[in-house]
């Protein structure tokens, strides 16, 4: 294990090295939580699952997906104690499956995170405009608010991950408080509506099953965030595992309670969600907490999109840094700020990339929610399951090669189980791709080809790699 626990001050950070001891377990946990954005997930992915998936059976599938992610994390943690890198899946997949596979995986992750960062910044601007109108009556184009979001994202990323983790902690706690208040009020008003029906097999299986499974996986996007900050914490071999399991537990509890609350809040939640999935959460808040609270939740949705944009931007920047260090992207991407030890070049490139992605939507005056999000949701979902599946296979192969140590269960049995699970989800996603994106556009249906092209480019560029995919 490379030494990553030194106590260099920020001012002593050499170029090409990230700041040490900049983040702890709690910070890593809330970067994962911010990426998942519980409040926005409730107002989007999970409302769609309630309306067009298996309905109340979504509750049972949360437990199934949570169990699969727990099994995955056991094997994933074997690699975490062996390899440390800002491009987490890059190094993890490369360790077992070789540089070409790692480079292909890192390139599609880089593409996906850049798309997602742009989409989240656009959503922050879109919902920011709605929130400002609700409170002041002032109406401005959404790109104005997205532009403000980009400036703040750049500043936060420039100063360091410690600031970003504190920001996401505060926003996450606000989301928990609002969702918790709604849960308590619904429980007090309709205690008998909290039944176990959603966990029964008869509710879990039926039309829309594939949509539910995919939307739940999307709600756990950014699962590798804790590992991506391994170079910036002390004792990463312990903290990555701890932070990842804590983040999984926190998100699973929050999503389960919040979804159960929505199920209990309506006499027929599936009909209500199908009629207006985007307004389901606000409708419940308005009914049980009052119009003022509903307005606050609406504003917090915009803030949570911004926090997610910060988290995803930091992930994309670290992938750019790791790819630059490995020679797959230009070496300048691996430069860090001499004072703060942050990947300032990769961060600036990521902001520029996000702005470039949004320019066509701004010029065409498109609604980013209906035009950009279908593109991003499908690509992001595919990327998540591909990378997790490949990571599971990497653990198994590394174990067979003897390049990782551990028991049979954590290095062989669990990785096989999780790899099979992710292969099943990927098959569902491919078959139901149009339903997942909510669009029958041929252009949107062809977007996964970007990942294929990215993987090919990654393999080709691996020929020029320095081999420095981790700090080991």
50-88 pLDDT, tens digit each:
999 999 999 999 999 999 999 999 998 898 888 888 778
Query: Would you say 280 and 46 are in contact if contact means Cβ atoms under 8 Å apart?
Result: no
Q: With 80 as the cut, is the pLDDT of residue 16 above it?
A: no
Q: Across the chain, which distance is largest between two alpha carbons, in Å?
A: 64
Contacts of 343 (CB under 8 A, 6+ apart): 18, 86, 157, 317, 318, 320, 321, 333, 334, 335, 336
Question: Helices 99-136 and 291-325 meet at what angle, rounded to 10?
Answer: 150
CATH 3.60.70.12 is held by the domain 18-462: no
The secondary structure of 413-458 as a DSSP string is IHHHHHHHHHHHHHHHHHHTHHHHHT---HHHHTTTHHHHHHHHHH
Q: State the DSSP string of 457-470.
A: HHHHHGGG--S--S
Nearest residue to 151 (alpha-carbon basis) of 324, 297, 351: 351
Residue corresponding to tokens 């961060």: 347
Q: Does the pLDDT of residue 4 top 60, yes or no?
A: no
Place of tokens 């969702």: 179
3-class SS at 86? coil
Give residue limits of the domains in the chain: 18-462
pLDDT at 13: 41
Residues whose CB falls within 8 Å of the CB of residue 231, separated by 6 or more in sequence, listed in order: 4, 18, 20, 84, 85, 86, 471
pLDDT digits over 396-433, tens only? 999 999 998 889 999 999 999 999 999 999 998 888 88
Query: What would the two tokens of residue 320 be?
Result: 């750019």
């Amino acid at each position: 294990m490379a030494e990553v626990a030194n106590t260099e001050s920020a001012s002593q950070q050499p170029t090409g090295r990230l700041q040490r001891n900049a983040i702890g377990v709690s910070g890593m946990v809330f970067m994962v939580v911010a990426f998942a954005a519980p409040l926005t997930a409730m107002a989007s992915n999970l409302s769609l699952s309630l309306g067009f998936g298996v309905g109340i059976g979504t509750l049972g599938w949360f437990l199934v997906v949570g169990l699969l992610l727990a099994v995955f994390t056991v094997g994933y943690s074997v690699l975490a104690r062996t390899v440390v890198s800002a491009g987490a899946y890059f190094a993890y997949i490369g360790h077992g499956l070789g540089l070409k596979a790692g480079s292909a995986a890192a390139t599609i992750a880089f593409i996906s995170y850049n798309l997602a960062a742009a989409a989240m910044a656009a959503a922050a601007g879109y919902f920011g405009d709605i929130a400002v109108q609700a409170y002041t009556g002032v109406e401005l184009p959404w790109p104005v608010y997205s532009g403000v979001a980009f400036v703040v994202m750049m500043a936060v990323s420039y100063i360091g991950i410690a600031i970003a983790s504190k920001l996401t902690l505060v926003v996450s706690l606000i989301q928990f408080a609002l969702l918790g208040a709604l849960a308590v009020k619904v429980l007090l008003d309709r205690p008998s509506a909290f039944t176990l029906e959603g966990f029964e097999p008869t509710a879990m299986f039926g039309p829309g099953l594939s949509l539910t499974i995919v939307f739940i996986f999307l709600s756990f996007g950014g699962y590798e965030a804790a590992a991506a900050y391994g170079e910036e914490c002390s004792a990463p071999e312990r903290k990555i595992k701890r932070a990842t399991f804590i983040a999984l537990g926190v998100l699973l509890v929050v999503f389960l309670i919040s979804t159960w609350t929505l199920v209990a809040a309506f006499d027929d939640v599936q009909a209500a969600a199908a009629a207006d999935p985007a307004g389901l959460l606000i409708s419940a808040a308005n009914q049980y907490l009052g119009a003022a609270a509903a307005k606050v939740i609406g504003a917090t949705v915009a803030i949570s999109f911004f926090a997610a944009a910060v988290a995803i931007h930091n992930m994309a920047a670290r992938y750019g840094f790791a790819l630059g260090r490995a020679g797959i992207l230009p070496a300048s991407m691996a430069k860090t700020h001499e004072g703060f030890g942050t990947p300032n070049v990769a961060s600036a490139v990521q902001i520029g990339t996000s702005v470039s992605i949004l320019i066509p939507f701004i010029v065409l005056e498109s609604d980013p929610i209906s035009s950009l999000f279908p593109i991003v949701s499908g690509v992001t979902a595919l990327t998540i399951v591909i990378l997790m599946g490949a990571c599971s296979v990497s653990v198994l192969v590394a174990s067979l090669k003897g390049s990782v140590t551990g028991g049979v269960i954590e290095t062989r049995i669990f990785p096989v189980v999780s790899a099979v699970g992710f292969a099943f989800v990927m098959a569902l996603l491919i078959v139901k791709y149009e339903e997942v994106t909510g669009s029958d556009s041929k252009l949107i249906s062809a977007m996964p080809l970007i990942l294929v092209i990215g993987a090919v480019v990654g393999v080709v560029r691996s020929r020029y790699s320095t081999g420095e995919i981790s700090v080991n």
